[in-house]
Amino acid sequence: MYSMNTGKIKKTVSANSGDMLRTLANLWPYMWPAAEPVLKRRVILALLFLVLFVSVSKK
């Protein structure tokens, strides 16, 4: 983000911080956009296939 007061860019997501939940929370709007129902269906379908293939490959 850009701060008007200091003129510097403030990082909201950092791989170095080690806080995975905060990173996921910051990235969630990009992974699950409210105005894109088609994208939501694709994400759900991909997760279902992932679970299906992992369960099949373990047998």
pTM for this predicted structure: 0.48
Cα–Cα dist 57/26, whole Å: 33
> Which amino acid is it at 51?
V
State the DSSP H helix or E strand holding residue 45, giving kind and residue range, or none if neither. helix 37-57
pLDDT of residue 1: 46
**In a structure prediction context, what are the per-residue pLDDT tens digits for the chain, which is 59 residues long?**
444 555 665 656 566 666 778 887 888 888 778 888 998 899 899 989 999 998 888 86
